[in-house]
Structure 1
Amino acid sequence: MTKLSGSILAADFLNLKSEIKRVENYIDELHIDVMDGHFVPNLTFGFPLIKAVKNITDLPIDVHLMVTNPEFHIDKLLDFDIQRITVHIESTVHIHRAITKIKENNIEAFVTLNPGTPLVLIEEVIPYVDGVLVMSVNPGFSGQKFIAKSIEKIKTLNNWKQKYGMNYSIAVDGGVNSSNADVVVSAGANILIMGYGIFKNPDLENLSSQLRGK
């Protein structure tokens, strides 16, 4: 089953409540990118915005920690009743500890990796996670072009699932839109994270009906 995840980085923040209400019937969850200006060259959202979003919608929330030392932030996130925390393999030397801490609190734990990071680096932690997020752009900014090489990573992750009898989700984030979503799903992804593809899409209802549940 394919899920659509709306990345609020592409939303109109002057009208955040109406933006979320406008799309929430066509998507399955919201994706919040927390960036620290150090791990990635941008500053975005902190805990007050996560709290505000929780007060706006009942949609599940995925918090993507694009920060150095993400384990410093996990405890605070426990206060917000979120459904998933996504952590970068490159951001901490204690990735197993971070994943364990998330799962001990009954929150889904996803591991992610940048476009230039080989999949082999996450092999050791895949048995412990609920999903893998493939970054199909270099993280930091919304609206970038999809990196075609990402399709090979998705296919490899899907092959590993079949080979080893695993059941982790495969999410994709970056440059996913109406023109390439079918290809991404066919490669094995079951969660499509879109910013512009959702919040700037004039035909979101059609995209949603085509992809959700596929």
Structure 2
Amino acid sequence: MIAPSILAADFARLAEAADAVKGADWLHVDVMDGHFVPNLTLGLPVVKAILASTDIPVDCHLMIDDPDRWALGYAEAGAHNVTVHAEAAADPVKLAHDIRAAGAKAGLSIKPRTPFEPYVELLSHYDTLLVMSVEPGFGGQEFIPEVLDKVRKARRLVDAGELTVIVEIDGGINSDTIEQAAEAGVDCFVAGSAVYGAADPAKAIEALRDQARVSTGKAR
């Protein structure tokens, strides 16, 4: 699965940016509050406008403080997947149940320096594990390969039937890094500059997907 990150698009033309990636599996939308991360992007009103302009399932990544208070609104608005940060959620089990009850899939994200093991039991309540491969806050950063150890651990648990999450990765994914991420066991790849920085975003998605498929076949 390829999820283009609209963070790398022209914010003045978000509807056009969504239309340019029609072949995408999900459309990744980063919500940042300027507190949990040192950047401010967009919020629920803009997400609602994006939802109204595309048929692509919208993958909302909430890089915000107090997601227990705010996440439900994104699920109720029609987001396909709503991801909150393990480092910010006060009651992640209840939050996952509330997001699911509102009709969305629930995702749990961990930052590069956050260990995976403390959250394994929590993941039984979630549909998606989003492993950050850059420090959250800004696009265009360099991929941190050390996070792939967390991906491998999650993949082993999924393959063993102990977890049922989609393993997603976000940060620095491009033609140079997607193969090693696929080999580690990633299911869904968030790609920003690699898609929206290309002359033809739709072709860039297909090229990334082809690379991931080949690498996944080698690894499994």
Same-fold call, TM cutoff 0.5: yes
Shift of 1:106: 2.6
SS in 2 for 1:118: coil
Distance 2:75 2:134 in 1: 28
Say yes or no: does 1:97 pair with 2:81: no
SS in 1 for 2:160: helix
Within the candidate set 45, 50, 54, 2:51 is matched to 54
SS in 2 for 1:24: coil
TM-score (norm 2): 0.90
Amino acid at match of 2:20: R
Question: Which consecutive segments of 4 or more residues in structure 1 shift more than 4 A?
Answer: none
* Counterpart contact for 1:178–1:207, Cα < 8 Å: no
Distance 1:125 1:78 in 2: 19
CA RMSD of aligned residues (A): 1.7
Q: Equivalent pairs: percent with the same residue?
A: 33
Within the candidate set 31, 35, 38, 2:32 is matched to 35
* Counterpart contact for 1:17–1:56, Cα < 8 Å: yes
* Unmatched 5+ stretches in structure 1: none
Distance 2:103 2:204 in 1: 34
Shift of 1:210: 5.4
Within the candidate set 135, 138, 142, 2:135 is matched to 138
* Counterpart contact for 2:124–2:164, Cα < 8 Å: no
Shift of 1:69: 0.9
Say yes or no: does 1:182 pair with 2:188: no
* Counterpart contact for 1:114–1:138, Cα < 8 Å: yes
Greater relative contact order (Cα 8 A, min sep 6): structure 1 or 2? 1
What count of residue pairs does the alignment treat as equivalent? Answer: 211
* Unmatched 5+ stretches in structure 2: 214-220
SS in 1 for 2:145: coil
SS in 2 for 1:156: helix
TM-score (norm 1): 0.92
Say yes or no: does 1:75 pair with 2:72: yes
* Counterpart contact for 1:60–1:82, Cα < 8 Å: yes
Aligned to 2:2: 4
Aligned to 1:198: 195
